[in-house]
Amino acid sequence: MITYSYISDKGDRDVNEDSVSIAKRRDGLCFTLCDGLGGHGSGDIASKTVTEVFSRIFTDLDMDAEDFFSLCYSVANEEVLRQQGINGTAQAMKTTVVSLVIKGDTCTWSHVGDSRLYHIGTDGGIARTRDHSVPQMLVMSKEIKEKDIRFHPDRNKLLRAVGSDEETPKYEVSETNKVLGFEAFLLCSDGFWELITEKQMCKLLKKSATPKEWLDAMKAVVLKNGKGKNMDNYSAIAVFISDKDGLF
């Protein structure tokens, strides 16, 4: 059984440059979240363009996850580059991407940039995608600690994004995982994860019976911690998967 909930809000900004899409087929679902870069008229167009590409390809074509993501990123990058030409924004128009595909009793995810996917399994352990950002590289080189990413002065400096001159952006894709027991996923933009810790995510998950309850509880923490800080756009998708009663 699969249940989910999502939010997307402009925060204290004038425009919401985040975009969320959920595409459904008889045998699966595709959740995609993007955080646009480049300001109003750039970031919002880029993020919406890419979420629409992922949804359209998932709905129209049946292929394995590796081929799906390869095609999505190639087409999405081409579409964003085309939009750059139309709007005269050169490479200012870009976007992050994080996407989760659930097909039958398997799940696979992929990302570019610093929008994250958190995965919490039956054992309660939490894992996440690694940001394509300057602070993440500093963590990997042991120059700063993981906890320092959230408030690092270079936290918004990305190393990868959709909308580059490359034919296909350098995305990462997970292995295809079989659903075992209960799985919880959180896809979110940096405006969300910067204001809530992994420990808080797990604690609130234990108290939540549905994805909406979990997301509402986390949102309350995000709003509390972001009060008076000129909050960025924040978006998140919460997904619960259980092998009980079938997936669909």
Confirm whether 248 is domain-assigned: no
CATH code of the domain covering residue 147 = 3.60.40.10
147 compared with 88, residue with greater pLDDT? 147
Using one digit for the tens of pLDDT, what is the confidence trace for 90-137? 668 999 999 999 998 999 999 999 999 999 987 778 999 999 999 888
Query: What's the CA gap between 26 and 110, in Å, rounded?
Result: 21
Confirm whether 133 is domain-assigned: yes
Confirm whether 179 is domain-assigned: yes
| pLDDT classification of 248: cutoffs 50, 70, 90 | very low
Enclosing domain of residue 17 = 2-242
Please, is 229 exposed, middle or buried when counting C-beta atoms within 10 Å of its C-beta (0-12, 13-18, 19+)? exposed
Query: What pLDDT shows up at residue 154?
Result: 84
Percent of the chain past pLDDT 90, that is, above it, reads: 74
Residue 154 is encoded by which pair of tokens? 């270079």
Query: What's the CA gap between 175 and 181, in Å, rounded?
Result: 18
pTM, rounded to two decimals: 0.94
Query: What's the CA gap between 19 and 34, in Å, rounded?
Result: 5
167 compared with 33, residue with greater pLDDT? 33
Using one digit for the tens of pLDDT, what is the confidence trace for 181-228? 899 999 999 999 999 999 999 999 999 999 999 999 999 999 999 999
Query: What pLDDT shows up at residue 246?
Result: 43
Query: What pLDDT shows up at residue 148?
Result: 83
- Total number of domains constituting the chain: 1
Query: What pLDDT shows up at residue 122?
Result: 79
Lowest-confidence pick of 33-37, 140-144, 209-213, 236-240: 140-144
Confirm whether 116 is domain-assigned: yes
Query: What pLDDT shows up at residue 123?
Result: 79
Query: What's the CA gap between 7 and 218, in Å, rounded?
Result: 11
| pLDDT classification of 247: cutoffs 50, 70, 90 | very low
Confirm whether 140 is domain-assigned: yes
Confirm whether 193 is domain-assigned: yes
Confirm whether 13 is domain-assigned: yes
Residue 244 is encoded by which pair of tokens? 């009980």
Confirm whether 247 is domain-assigned: no
Query: What's the CA gap between 214 and 70, in Å, rounded?
Result: 32
Lowest-confidence pick of 16-25, 84-93, 138-147: 84-93
Query: What pLDDT shows up at residue 223?
Result: 98
Using one digit for the tens of pLDDT, what is the confidence trace for 44-77? 999 999 999 999 999 999 999 999 999 999 999 9
Q: Do 112 and 161 contact (CB within 8 A), yes or no?
A: yes
